[in-house]
Amino acid sequence: MEILPHDLQLYLEDHCDPEPAELQKINRYTYLKVLRPHMLSGHYQGRLLSMLSKMMQPRRILEIGTFTGYSTICLAEGLAEDGLIHTIEIDREFEEMLNQHFKSTNVDKKIIQHFGPAAQIIVEINEDSFDMVFIDADKKNNLSYFNLVFDKVRSGGLIIIDNVLWKGKVYSEETDADTRSIRELNDHVAKDTRVEKLILPVRDGIMIIRKK
């Protein structure tokens, strides 16, 4: 789901860097072969993630929600020479596909894959701190993931959370469980004085959080 009008979205994509050829293939594969392909970050959001990563030049990134690996590859574009991404995916059946996608873009040696419940794996990952965290998994647990990763993010590091506008439901009268969970997250972060934050109306809304 994209918040912006379709014509505006096309204009934005036409006026940012082109989608790399291998990512175009992953994009196409996702829409042809995978259920719920709209979960893919896609061209414009992918270029945003790539640019943020290049600005940060992170040594360690944590991604919660690998899906078909598109966003992982975008984040990897900005890694420091010795950088690594830990990425967590609940569905073990994606492993073979992900290995192929990461090898096709030559980032496989910079990616450590984890499969299973994110809340458990976050605690088990043996890293002192992360420069960037990208949260794009089951929405009802976004606030829990934010709280779990917060102390693992260095001062000046970024936490990026996807789908925070939730098809526009968060600023409507909707009261379903997922919408309430995302409102709770947004309200919590808005009041959190330990961070600087803003929401960009990119695709389904992406929140950029900088830890002070």
Span 69-110, pLDDT tens digits: 999 999 999 999 999 999 999 999 999 999 999 999 999 999
pLDDT, position 105: 95
Residue 54 has a CB neighbour count (10 Å cut-off) of 13
Residue 195: beta bridge partners?
Answer: 211
pTM of the full predicted structure? 0.96
pLDDT, position 46: 98
Give the C-alpha separation, 105 to 172, whole Å: 40
Average pLDDT over residues 118-125: 97
The correct CATH number of 6-211 out of 3.30.1490.20, 3.30.465.10, 3.40.50.150, 3.30.2130.10 is: 3.40.50.150
Whether residue 1 is predicted with pLDDT greater than 70 in this model: the reply is no
pLDDT band at 18 (very low <50, low <70, confident <90, very high): very high
